[in-house]
């Protein structure tokens, strides 16, 4: 069976994923093709076309289109909860009751149009909606490979109405335990504070997480934003998760917090520096998210975790690696699987996998996320020949050896190889690399290449031969979805990838899934004694990760990078010296 999963139903992070007989063969985010971060307001035209072309699938061979947005019954508590909690905006409240599925109908029209545009045929193919949070749950559970009874949770801003789901899975079936509904959203509160701290919602939450270790979580008490017990929570909509006239407005823009929040905490943060009191606010909201989430996990999933210790997590909040470290530390959690593309982009996989399981297929365990386009040496050379900057380039025989030499000499290196990663993390195929023992290499990459805030941390990619020693655990970590406490013996060896609080968001690299990247790091180990490389995404601030060789060349000439490896093609801005 051929199932095409499509996301973009909530008007950001559009993507496509293709399952053939339960095997995930291709997935890509629309932003990478259209070069607009998060592809806001877009549907996955280019990414869907890529998936079909890559797999050699004719449009007429698609059996089902699955998408992560479903109609919600009037008899569900979701619409009534929304109406009751948003009483201060009567137009929204009445719409939820009397026209509560308008967004579903709009999405169905758009996805039908997309099916026709791709020549799949909206009247021929089955269009299968999946509840947004069930799609998130499926993207983690059905691809985790867990066979035991499994605890499942999803937390994000919101889908149709749900914001949080606790569930369990067994024999491929997902069983709901508890849902929470808008405006009671942990992701929404974190997003509102993200805006208050001067970042963009849906993009800057990880910046708040990175800022938090610089502050003191006990200096300011933000608990008035959320009232909670071990089994319930309620967001204070006097301050956050607000709509309509309650929103704070500045220079024509409306925010998801109220003027009352500004009266309480002070003016909204501006600029790129981290300073008081904002670093303490970041620390406090991070601590509050962790505290509430852990309490709910223990209440709703504690019994299941005691049985098997398996936990799956997805939704935008699942990209909060500090929370994930706390989850791994729970005494009953033996293994945590976080969907690498936990944002709404991952719901394309989730919708497809959910429909596949409901149809009786077996969905294969996620082996890796190298699911996007790849380019040959010939295509890379052609891109160089056609680029207006006329780069210096040469075909090299041992890219891993030369790359390691450049890194060991202290040079940042753009590393472009293989299939593009799916999800927000560069995992060695669309990366900027540095040697983590070279002093100030992180500051240089932040200031001269990424053009981002100087305090932002970088992540290590490390070989599986040294990971347990560095991270002090054998917990699987192939996708940069967790932070770990770095062994003291390693902190001085790789200081450029150790964050302010002594942790690192690590990727453990194994030879089977990425032999070329593995070889590069092994060559670097021969020169430095450390099987670790600094790794960040190949893009500049505010841009999507690069997709094609031309994208990489544009980024290369728009920064102070000096070396770019496109497969086996070394690109420089001046001739190489021997």
User: What is the full per-residue pLDDT of the chain (578 aa) written as tens digits?
Assistant: 999 999 999 899 999 999 999 999 999 999 999 999 999 999 999 999 999 999 999 999 999 999 999 999 999 999 999 999 999 999 999 999 999 999 999 999 999 999 999 999 999 999 999 999 999 999 999 999 999 999 999 999 999 999 999 999 999 999 999 999 999 999 999 999 999 999 999 999 999 999 999 999 999 999 999 999 989 999 999 999 999 999 999 999 999 999 999 999 999 999 877 788 999 999 999 999 999 999 999 999 999 999 999 999 999 999 999 999 999 999 999 999 999 999 999 999 999 999 999 999 999 999 999 999 999 999 999 999 999 999 999 999 999 999 999 999 999 999 999 999 999 999 999 999 999 999 999 999 988 888 888 778 899 999 999 999 999 999 999 999 999 999 999 999 999 999 999 999 999 999 999 999 999 999 999 999 999 999 999 999 999 999 999 999 999 999 999 999 999 999 998 766 55
Which DSSP letter does residue 315 get? S
pLDDT-above-70 percentage for the chain: 99
**pLDDT given at position 450:** 87
- Do 551 and 567 reside in the same domain of the chain? yes
Classify residue 198: in a domain, yes or no.
Answer: yes
**479 contacts 431 by C-beta, under 8 angstroms:** no
Last residue of a domain, one of 328, 358, 388: 358
- Do 59 and 21 reside in the same domain of the chain? yes
- Do 131 and 210 reside in the same domain of the chain? no
Mean residue pLDDT of the chain comes to 96
Classify residue 366: in a domain, yes or no.
Answer: no
- Do 326 and 191 reside in the same domain of the chain? yes
- Do 272 and 381 reside in the same domain of the chain? no
Length of the chain counted residue by residue: 578
- 3-class DSSP state of 242: coil
Classify residue 179: in a domain, yes or no.
Answer: no
Q: How far apart are CA 374 and CA 54, in angstroms?
A: 9
Classify residue 163: in a domain, yes or no.
Answer: no
- 3-class DSSP state of 15: strand
Query: Around Cβ 201, how many Cβ atoms within 10 Å?
Result: 18
Last residue of a domain, one of 358, 388, 419: 358
**pLDDT given at position 576:** 62
Question: Which helix or strand (DSSP H or E) is residue 176 part of?
Answer: strand 173-181
- Do 141 and 260 reside in the same domain of the chain? no
Classify residue 202: in a domain, yes or no.
Answer: yes
- Do 440 and 493 reside in the same domain of the chain? yes
Cα 157-348-23 angle, rounded to 5 deg? 140
Classify residue 190: in a domain, yes or no.
Answer: yes
- Do 415 and 485 reside in the same domain of the chain? yes
- Do 305 and 350 reside in the same domain of the chain? no
Classify residue 154: in a domain, yes or no.
Answer: no
Q: How far apart are CA 452 and CA 445, in angstroms?
A: 9
Which H, E and C letters describe 250-308, residue by residue? Answer: ECCEECCECHHHHHHHCCCCCCCCCCCCHHHHHHHHHHHHHHHHHHHHHHHHHHHHHHH
**pLDDT given at position 275:** 86
**pLDDT given at position 416:** 98
Q: How many domains does the chain have?
A: 3
**pLDDT given at position 573:** 87
Exposed/middle/buried for residue 63 (C-beta within 10 Å: 0-12, 13-18, 19+)? middle
Last residue of a domain, one of 358, 389, 416: 358
Among residues 12, 38, 136, 411, which one is catalytic?
Answer: 12
**pLDDT given at position 257:** 98
Q: Which residues contact 145 (CB under 8 A, 6 or more apart)?
A: 337, 365, 366
Q: Identify the CATH number of the domain in which residue 259 sits.
A: 3.30.420.40
Q: Which residues contact 218 (CB under 8 A, 6 or more apart)?
A: 284
- Do 442 and 483 reside in the same domain of the chain? yes
Domain housing 543: 377-572
- Do 328 and 348 reside in the same domain of the chain? no
12 is catalytic: yes
Classify residue 128: in a domain, yes or no.
Answer: yes
Q: Identify the CATH number of the domain in which residue 550 sits.
A: 3.90.870.20
CA 298 to chain CA centroid, nearest Å: 25
- Do 304 and 348 reside in the same domain of the chain? no
């Amino acid at each position: 069976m051929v199932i095409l999963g499509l996301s973009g139903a909530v008007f950001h992070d559009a993507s496509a994923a293709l399952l053939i007989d339960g095997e995930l063969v291709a997935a890509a985010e629309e932003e990478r093709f259209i070069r607009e971060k998060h592809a806001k307001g877009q549907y996955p035209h280019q990414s869907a076309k890529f998936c079909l072309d890559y797999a050699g699938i004719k449009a007429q061979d698609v059996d089902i289109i699955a998408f992560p947005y479903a109609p919600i019954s009037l008899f569900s508590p979701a619409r009534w909860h929304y109406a009751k909690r948003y009483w201060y905006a009567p137009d929204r409240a009445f719409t939820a009751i009397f026209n509560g599925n308008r967004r579903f109908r709009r999405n169905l029209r758009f996805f039908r149009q997309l099916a026709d545009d791709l020549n799949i045929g909206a009247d021929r193919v089955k269009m299968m909606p999946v509840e947004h949070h069930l799609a998130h749950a499926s993207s983690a559970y059905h691809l985790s490979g867990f066979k035991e009874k499994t605890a499942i949770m999803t937390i994000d801003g919101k889908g149709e109405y749900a914001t949080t789901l606790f569930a369990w899975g067994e024999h491929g079936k997902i069983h709901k335990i508890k849902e929470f509904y808008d405006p009671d959203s942990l992701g929404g509160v974190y997003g509102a504070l993200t805006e208050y701290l001067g970042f963009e919602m849906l993009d800057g939450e990880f910046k708040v997480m990175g800022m938090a270790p610089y502050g003191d979580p006990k200096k300011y008490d933000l608990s008035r934003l959320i009232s909670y017990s071990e089994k319930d929570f309620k967001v204070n909509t006097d301050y956050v998760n607000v709509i309509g006239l309650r929103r704070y407005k500045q220079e024509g823009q409306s925010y998801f917090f109220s003027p009352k929040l500004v009266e309480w905490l002070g003016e909204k943060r501006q600029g790129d520096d981290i300073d008081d009191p904002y670093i303490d606010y970041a620390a406090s909201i991070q601590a509050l998210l962790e505290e509430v989430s852990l309490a709910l996990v223990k209440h709703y999933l504690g019994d299941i975790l005691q049985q098997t210790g398996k936990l799956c997590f997805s939704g935008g909040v699942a990209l909060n690696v500090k929370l994930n470290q706390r989850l791994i530390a729970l005494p009953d959690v033996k293994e945590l699987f976080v969907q690498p593309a936990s944002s709404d982009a991952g719901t394309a996989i989730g919708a497809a996998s959910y429909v596949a399981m409901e149809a009786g297929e077996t969905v294969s365990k996620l082996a890796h996320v190298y699911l996007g386009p790849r380019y040959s040496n010939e295509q890379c050379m052609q891109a160089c020949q056609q680029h207006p900057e006329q780069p210096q380039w040469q075909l090299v025989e041992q890219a891993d050896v030369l790359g390691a030499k450049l890194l060991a000499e202290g040079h940042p290196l753009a590393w472009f190889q293989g299939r593009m990663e799916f999800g927000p993390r560069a995992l060695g195929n669309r990366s900027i690399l540095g040697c983590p023992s070279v002093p100030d290499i992180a500051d240089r990459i932040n200031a001269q290449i990424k053009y981002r805030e100087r305090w932002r941390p970088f992540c290590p990619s490390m070989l599986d031969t040294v990971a347990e020693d560095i991270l002090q655990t054998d917990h699987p970590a192939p996708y940069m979805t967790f932070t770990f406490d770095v062994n003291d013996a390693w902190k001085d060896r790789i200081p450029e990838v150790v964050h302010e609080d002594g942790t690192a968001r690590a990727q453990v690299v194994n030879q089977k899934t990425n032999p070329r990247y593995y070889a590069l790091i092994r060559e670097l180990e021969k020169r430095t004694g450390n099987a670790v490389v600094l790794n960040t995404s190949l893009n500049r601030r505010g841009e999507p990760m690069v997709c094609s060789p031309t994208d990489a060349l544009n980024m290369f000439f728009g920064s102070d990078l000096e070396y770019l490896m496109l497969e086996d093609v070394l690109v420089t801005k001046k001739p190489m010296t021997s």
